[in-house]
Structure 1
Amino acid sequence: MTDLLIPVAAPSVADQARATLDNRNLIFVGLMGAGKSVIGRMVAQALSVPFIDTDVEIERVSCMTIAELFAAYGENEFRALETRVIGRLLKGGPRVISTGGGAFINENTRRLIKEGGISVWLNADLDVLWERVNKRDHRPLLKTENPKATLENLMNQRYPVYAEADLTVHSGNVRKEVMVNNVLSAIVGLTQKGDVQ
Structure 2
Amino acid sequence: MTEIAARQQDSTTREGDIVAALHGRPVVLVGMMGSGKSTIGRRLGARLHMPFLDADHEIEVAHAGLTVSEIFAQHGEPYFRDGEARVIARLLESGPCVIATGGGAFMREETRNRIHNKAVSIWLKADGDVILKRVKRRADRPLLQTADPAATIERLIAERGPFYQLADLAVASRDVPHEKIVDECIDALFAHLVPGGASHSSGT
Please, what TM-score do these two structures have when normalized by structure 1? Answer: 0.91
Distance (Å, rounded) in 2 between the aligned partners of 1:166 and 1:175: 24
SS of the counterpart of 2:33?
Answer: coil
Q: CA deviation at 1:133?
A: 0.8
Q: Trace 1:1-197 onto structure 2 (pairs within 5 A).
A: 10=10, 12=12, 13-63=14-64, 64-190=66-192, 191-192=194-195
Q: Is the Cα contact below 8 Å between 1:17 and 1:185 reproduced in 2? A: no
Q: In structure 2, what is the Cα distance between the partners aligned to 1:188 and 1:170?
A: 16
Residue 192 of structure 1 deviates from its aligned partner by 4.2
Separation in structure 1 between the aligned mates of residue 196 and residue 117 of structure 2, nearest angstrom: 20
Residue pair 2:42, 2:52 contacting (<8 A) in 1 also: yes
Alpha-carbon distance in 1 for matches of 2:197, 2:176: 29
CA distance in 1, matches of 2:10, 2:179: 20
Query: Which ranges of structure 2 fall in alignment gaps of 5 or more residues?
Result: 1-5, 199-204
CA distance in 2, matches of 1:143, 1:192: 46
Q: Assess, with a 3 A threshold, how the Cα gap between structure 1 residues 42 and 11 changes in structure 2: closer, same or farther.
A: closer
Structure 1 gap segments, 5+ residues each: 1-6
Instruction: Choose 184-193 or 116-125, whichever is displaced more.
Output: 184-193
| Alpha-carbon shift at residue 11 of structure 1 (Å) | 5.7
Residues 124, 172 of structure 1: 8 Å contact kept: yes
Range 41-50 or range 12-21, more displaced: 12-21
Q: Residues 50 and 137 (structure 1 numbering): CA distance in 2 closer, same or farther, change over 3 Å?
A: same
* TM superposition shift of 1:16: 2.7
User: Structure 1 100/157 Cα, relative in aligned 2: closer, same or farther at 3 Å?
Assistant: same
Residue by residue, what CA displacement relative to the aligned partner does 1:42-77 show, whole Å, maximum 9, x if unpaired?
Answer: 000001111100000000011111011101111111
Are residues 73 and 193 of structure 1, via their aligned partners in 2, closer, same or farther at CA, if it must alter by over 3 Å? farther
1:4 aligned partner = none
- Provide the secondary structure at the position in 1 that maps to 2:93: coil
Contact 2:53 2:99 in 1 (8 A): yes
User: Superposition RMSD on alpha carbons, in Å?
Assistant: 1.7
Percent identity, please.
Answer: 44
For 2:25 and 2:90, how far apart are their aligned partners in 1?
14
Q: Quick one: which amino acid aligns to residue 71 of structure 1?
A: A
Residue-by-residue CA offset, 1:131-154 (whole Å, 9 max, x unaligned): 111111110000011111001100
Name the CA shift for 1:90/1:71 in 2 (closer, same or farther; >3 Å).
same
Q: In structure 1, the residue corresponding to 2:80 is in which secondary structure?
A: helix
- CA displacement at 1:10 relative to structure 2: 4.0
Pairwise CA distance, 1:17: 2.2
- TM-score with structure 2 length normalisation? 0.88
Give the length in aligned residue pairs.
188
- The amino acid across from 1:15 in the alignment is G
**Alignment check: 8 A CA contact 1:34 1:129 kept:** yes
Return structure 1 stretches of 4+ with deviation > 6 angstroms.
none
Partner of 2:202: none
**What amino acid is the match of 2:170?**
T
